[in-house]
Structure 1
Amino acid sequence: MTERTVAAGSTRLWSEDRGDPGDPPVLLISGDCQPGLFWPDEVVAALVGGGYRVIRYDHRDTGRSTHRDFAANPYTFDDLTADAIAVLDAWGVSAAHVVAFSMGAGLAQLIAVDHPHRMLSQTLICTHALGIDFADSVARAMAGETSRDGLPLPEPRVFEALELHAGPVHDRSAELDRRVAGWRTVAGDAFDPAEFRRREERVIDHAGTLHQSIAHGYVTEGIATRGADLARITAPTLVVQAPLDPISPPPHGRHLAGSIPGAVLVEIPGMGHALTGTALDALIPEVLAHLRR
């Protein structure tokens, strides 16, 4: 394992490289407000063992990357996409397979349309298509309204639970309890609180702080107007739909796969908006099979 700090303008991004530098590269992109360690070591080990070089990184405002006040230093999804490209540049990678989750899968779609030469393939997990105004969808869900596009809105219980568990960080145990409760709300079947507590302990140790930024929740520019661009994607695409995902519920995955030429859709039974151990047992073989295709 090798760590490297990547410069993206005035932002510094922590990154990590594992595997043989001569193997095909895979870039892992985490969801909103999640650092690179969002990706369990089981995923990294399976990819390295399958003959791939794996790179993961901390988004800005997560982990060991630069943290700033968002109101004073706003940015867009295009800026977050540029961060991912900066990571590839720093590691000397001209093009990579991209495996991405939630907001990270939105960034992957932007890479696919704006930087197609940098992408070998993409795997999009638990997400919605470019062209979906997620901020508007959340607002409409909380107001008890219907969607504008006929696709299901996020479930209000998710955001009610996040609000319930928000507040000042008192101590490590209380913060871990808060984070585990948040994952429980979205994770689907076979949720193991001890598993997620261990993961969040590593995330806290890695970041060196109990504070968890919510800056990505304020990013609104760069995705909602790009839906028509999906038809231009040429990268081989796997879309993973989680049947119990309360944030991007079915059929968001089917809609996304139908918007990208040649995309393949798979559903992982019992999966919610989280990488539980049970979900990974089914997900990892699908990802490896897609990379090998």
Structure 2
Amino acid sequence: MSNEVQRVMVSESIEIAYESIGDEADPPLLLVMGLGAQMIAWPDQFCVQLAARGYRVIRFDNRDVGLSTHLVGGTAPNVAKAMGGDYSSAAYTLSDMAGDAVGLLNALDIRTAHVVGASMGGMIVQCMAIEYPNRLRSMTSIMSTTGDRSVGRPSQAAMTVLLAPPATDREGAIARAVESAKVIGSPGFDRDDDVIKERAALAFDRAFDPVGGARQLVAIQASGDRTEKLRSVKIPTLVVHGAADALVDVSGGKATAEAIQGSKLLLIDGMSHDLPQGAWPQIVDAIDDLATRADA
């Protein structure tokens, strides 16, 4: 496991922080994380298990989170207006974030990669598959959706968590993470609050920028419905979704799989909107199986 964070410019204005785990000679596997979440939201041992299957695992901070570039100035993100259809406060879209991911591959001199995205990260890798199909060996979309607002809708409790005022200090951020896990965490798997607290503290110490998360949320709203474009995707695809997902209803995963011809849908009972350790064997096996078939 390498904990050395490196940084590269992926465009004239965006610097991306990343980590590489595993042998650089192995097939690259790029992990793309979700809304407001830093690359450390991909658990270390989850990454190690993927690397042990023979992949060079690369995780990174999206723009506006962690140690990558945070946008400053410009129009303040207005989440309420964006959710009502006014996207004038959008600083960028998911396509721009997909461009960041491809820019990272360029900077690392990687021609093609297996890509895995979780939640908003799933939306980003879907955009990569649509806009940069020749750069992807395979795509895995986890706990994500198509952008069609009729599917993947959050429960009322999860919406309350999503739109709650952000924490203002370290202790508040840790407490917020624990309370959020009670709503969107997986009811069918053990939850370790100490691990949640530790990861939340580390995330706060690395970078705390609620406005950056709001910009990402507006970008999601401004990016529209990808369903029709997903119908043209020919890349080997795996869709993973928790059957108990409270934040992105399972209908979002089902719609994603339905839109992409030949894709495989893996529904995990008891899993909600996180990556519970008890589900890692199923997820790692499925990603490895997809990548192996794609490379063959």
Q: Distance in 1 between matches of 2:225 and 2:19?
A: 33
Correspondent of 1:39 among 38, 42, 59: 42
Partner AA of 1:4 in structure 2: Q
Offset at 1:221?
6.1
Structure 2 gaps of 5+ residues are 77-89
What TM-score results when the alignment is normalised by the length of structure 2? 0.85
Where 2:271 maps in the other structure, the secondary structure is coil
Superposition deviation, residue 59 in structure 1: 0.6
Partner of 1:61: 64
Q: Provide the C-alpha distance between the structure 1 equivalents of 2:18 and 2:152, rounded to a whole number of angstroms.
A: 35
Partner of 2:52: 49
Verify: 1:27 aligned to 2:44, yes or no. Answer: no
Assess if the C-alpha contact under 8 Å between 1:15 and 1:57 holds in 2.
Answer: yes
Match of 2:258 in 1: 258
Q: Aligned pair in 2 of structure 1 residues 163, 109: CA closer, same or farther (>3 Å)?
A: closer
Runs of 4+ deviating beyond 3 Å: 209-213, 220-223
Q: In structure 1, what is the equivalent of residue 6 of structure 2?
A: 4
Task: Name the counterpart of 1:71.
Answer: 75
Is the contact made by 2:145 and 2:256 (CA closer than 8 Å) also made in structure 1? yes
The Cα offsets for residues 216-264 of structure 1, whole Å up to 9 and x where unpaired, read as: 1121466424321112111100000211111221232222111101100
Verify the 8 A CA contact 2:173 2:204 in the aligned structure 1.
no
Query: Matches of 1:108 and 1:201 in 2, distance apart?
Result: 28
Please identify, of 67-76 and 82-91, the stretch whose mean Cα deviation from structure 2 is larger: 67-76
- 1:98/1:119 contact within 8 Å kept: yes
Paired residues for 1:180-259 under 5 Å: 180-189=178-187, 190=189, 191-205=191-205, 207=206, 209-212=207-210, 213-214=212-213, 215-220=215-220, 223-259=223-259
TM-superposed deviation, 1:12:
1.2
Judge conservation of contact 1:169–1:211 (CA < 8 Å) in 2: no
- Match in the other structure for 2:148: 132
Hey, what's the Cα distance between the residues in 2 that align with 1:173 and 1:47?
33
TM-score by length of 1: 0.86
Aligned residue pairs total 272
Could you tell me how far 1:211 is from its partner in structure 2? 4.1
2:174 alignment partner, one of 173, 176, 179: 176
Q: What amino acid sits opposite 1:105 in the alignment? A: G
Q: Share of identical aligned residues, percent?
A: 29
Deviation at 1:180, TM superposition (A): 2.0
Q: Is the Cα–Cα contact under 8 Å of residues 7 and 17 in structure 2 kept in the other structure?
A: yes
- The answer to whether the Cα contact below 8 Å between 2:38 and 2:66 also exists between their aligned partners in 1 is yes
SS of aligned partner of 2:5: strand
Distance 1:263 1:242, change over 3 A: same
What's the C-alpha RMSD, in Å, of the aligned pairs? 2.0
C-alpha separation in 1, matches of 2:100 and 2:173: 28
**Following the alignment from structure 2 to structure 1, what is the Cα–Cα distance between the partners of residues 239 and 163?**
30
The equivalent residue for 2:97 is: 80
Provide structure 1 residue ranges, at least 5 long, that are not aligned to the other structure. Answer: 134-146
Where 2:173 maps in the other structure, the secondary structure is helix
Q: What's the offset of the Cα at 1:184?
A: 2.4
Deviation at 1:66, TM superposition (A): 1.3
